[in-house]
Structure 1
Amino acid sequence: MLRVLFVGDVYGQPGRRVLGAHLPTLRPGFDFVIVNGENAAGGFGLHREAAGAILKAGADCITLGNHAWHHKDVYALMLDENQYPIVRPLNYSDPGTPGVGWRTFEVKGKGGTERLTVVNVLGRVFMEAVANPFQAVDELLERPELAGGELGSVFVDIHAEATSEKAALAWHLDGRVAAVIGTHTHVPTADTRILPGGTAFQTDAGFTGPLNSVIGADPQGPIQKFLTERPWRFSVAGGPAELNGVIVQIEGNRALSVERYRYAEET
């Protein structure tokens, strides 16, 4: 049995700050912590400083998304698998893509050591062209060399824009993975549930970043873009930050419980 905390997209310095201040207080209550670091470096991607801050706060694994390649030093981080346990999106068709799209961890739970596999996939609706995420996960689960429970419990982070795509993937994988949790849209959804086959699902975990913002950005940037219909430079908002996540209790490859988690700094 494993108790897993998944933390939604960390956004810029405010997100790293609230994660660094609050996650250590939560960490003793969990066997494994997954943090999406997609926006941790100034709102776009991940760099060495941001990765170090996320791991120092208590993360066991960092997942990414469509901004995975924004900073050049992420390539070196992905090659250093021992120091930086990063899982980038699985569904890039180029076999030379740096890093890995899934990773299996040996996790010490209350009942002994358990295997937990973290998978990251990108959606395709309203996103850039990538390989089919449904087929990519199917191919992983059906690999002959991974038969017989080699993957252990499987936790999927789907980084996607469309609610329908996230929900469809969860139903497609129901009973075959322990959890499918969505990221990317930065707003926590109220559809937290366990599907009939035992898979925990939430369309979006929400984000970890500035509370008084437009999904992380200072409101004036998005406002001006909508008013003028022209491109506008966005900046990371300041002020208090919030942390959003999902808690999943897993036994074998099934979820026993799932619940939303939110913490907000005082204004």
Structure 2
Amino acid sequence: MIILYCGDVVGEQASTRLAETLPALRRIHGVDLVVVNAENCAPTGLGMAAKQVHQLLDAGVDVITGGNHSWDSEESVELLELAQVVRPENLAPGVPGHGHVHVEVAGETVTVVNLADHCAMKSVKATAGKFRPAYAGWTTAPKDGTVIVDYHGDHVLEKQIFAHAIDGTAAAVLGSHTHEATVPLHILPQGTGLVTEVGMTGPGGSVQGFTPDNLARGLRETGDPFSAPLPTVSSGPLLLGAVLLDVRDGRTVHIERITWPQDEEETS
């Protein structure tokens, strides 16, 4: 089974580019399942928007994962009702959305579980007082068939410890949230693939996909980068943060990074 995972999609242009090239990516790499973190896919880069979510689903995305931005707008919250859209599992009852989904892939069941660490979720009003540790969420989540984890978090240490703790019970632990891809690609001793941070699918030359000007000005003038107006999504060159997994019998046997198709013939 070949699984494509794309890290945090930021903004409208990145969503469109991914949707346009996804059929080619599926064909070129023989992809069976596509999982995309799209909590930043709205034009503002904050939360999800229906146009972008349905654009991605129509293009062939099978599961959309989220994180701390999953509740950024009413529209984003409404989209959590879709079966294909998940947000972190490790939350107490009463928070909109669901944290896992089962999909059938070539006659096999795949469970995608979304988790998040405390640092990523600490300022989210929708989850205030309802956060549970990621491992606690993992222990109660269903784990039917092949299991893929989107771990949305700041801390390298926590992601790596978690992956080693569940080695052999998930096919992969794929880090999201920081938008800055890490280089090493790991296959742990019992067959769990680990990427500490897959990286964003969005505009480069930016601050996590956003224009740096207001953030830098706020820091210079007040010591608080968020004291200036919120930044807009950057128009820099688009990057694809993505990994391709070859999973057999619930274990990863190969993992690699991939880039956008390079010419029109590939995408046609």
- TM bucket, shorter chain: 0.7 to 0.9
CA–CA distance in structure 2, aligned partners of residues 211 and 126 of structure 1? 22
Secondary structure at the counterpart of residue 255 of structure 1: strand
- 1:17 partner letter: T
| Aligned partner (choices 114, 117, 120) of residue 123 of structure 1 | 117
2:90 maps to a residue whose letter is N
Partner of 2:266: none
Q: 1:195 corresponds to which residue?
A: 188
Report whether the alignment pairs 1:258 with 2:255. yes
1:181 touches 1:204 (CA, 8 Å); kept in 2?
Answer: yes
Tell me the SS of whatever aligns to 1:125: helix
Cα contact 2:89–2:115 (8 A) shared by 1: yes
**CA displacement at 1:4 relative to structure 2:** 0.1
Give the aligned partner of residue 69 of structure 1. 71
Matches within 5 A, 1:27-66: 27-28=26-27, 29-41=30-42, 42-66=44-68
Tell me what 1:13 maps to: 12
Residues 190-217 of structure 1: per-residue CA shift (max 9 Å, x gap): 1211001110000000001112212101
Deviates more, 1:225-234 or 1:253-262: 225-234
CA 1:262–1:224: 2 relative to 1, 3 Å? farther
Aligned match of 2:125: none
Q: Deviations over 1:119-160 (max 9, x none)?
A: 00111136416211111102225xxxx6xxxx1000000000
CA–CA distance in structure 2, aligned partners of residues 22 and 122 of structure 1: 28
Q: In proportion to residue count, which structure has more strand?
A: 1
Mapped to 2, the partners of 1:241 and 1:168 lie a distance apart of 31
Question: Which sections of structure 2, spanning at least 5 residues, go unmatched?
Answer: 123-127, 264-268
1:15-55, CA deviations, whole angstroms, 9 ceiling, x for partnerless residues?
A: 11221232221022200000000111121111211211221
Whether the 8 Å contact between 1:107 and 1:116 is mirrored in structure 2 is yes
State how far apart, in whole Å, the 2-side matches of 1:224 and 1:78 are: 35
Counterpart of 2:232? 235
Q: Which amino acid aligns with 1:105?
A: V
Q: 1:214 to 1:75 in 2, by over 3 A?
A: closer
19-28 vs 173-182, which moves further: 19-28
1:264, distance to aligned residue in structure 2 (A): 8.8
Which residue matches 1:99?
A: 97
Give the counterpart letter for 1:67 in structure 2. H
Whole-angstrom distance in 1 between the partners of 2:17 and 2:97: 27
Which consecutive unaligned segments of at least 5 residues does structure 1 have? none
CA distance in 2, matches of 1:218, 1:203: 25
Distance 1:48-1:74 versus aligned 2 partners, 3 A rule: same
Local SS of the residue matching 2:64: strand
Number of positions where the alignment pairs a residue of Structure 1 with one of Structure 2? 249
Compute the TM-score of the two structures, normalised by the length of structure 1.
0.88
- Is 1:153 the counterpart of 2:146? The answer is yes
Asked whether the 8 Å contact 1:10–1:16 carries over to 2, the reply is: yes
The answer to whether the 8 Å contact 2:150/2:173 transfers is yes
Counterpart residue identity of residue 166, structure 1:
K
Letter in 2 for 1:99: G
Name the CA distance, whole Å, in 1 between partners of 2:176 and 2:99: 16
**Contact 2:182 / 2:196 at 8 angstroms: preserved in 1?**
yes
Equivalent residue for 1:206? 199
Q: Is the contact between residue 89 and residue 141 of structure 2 (CA under 8 Å) also seen in structure 1?
A: no
Per the normalisation by structure 2, the TM-score is: 0.87
Cα distance between partner residues in 2 of 1:63 and 1:9: 9
RMSD: 1.8
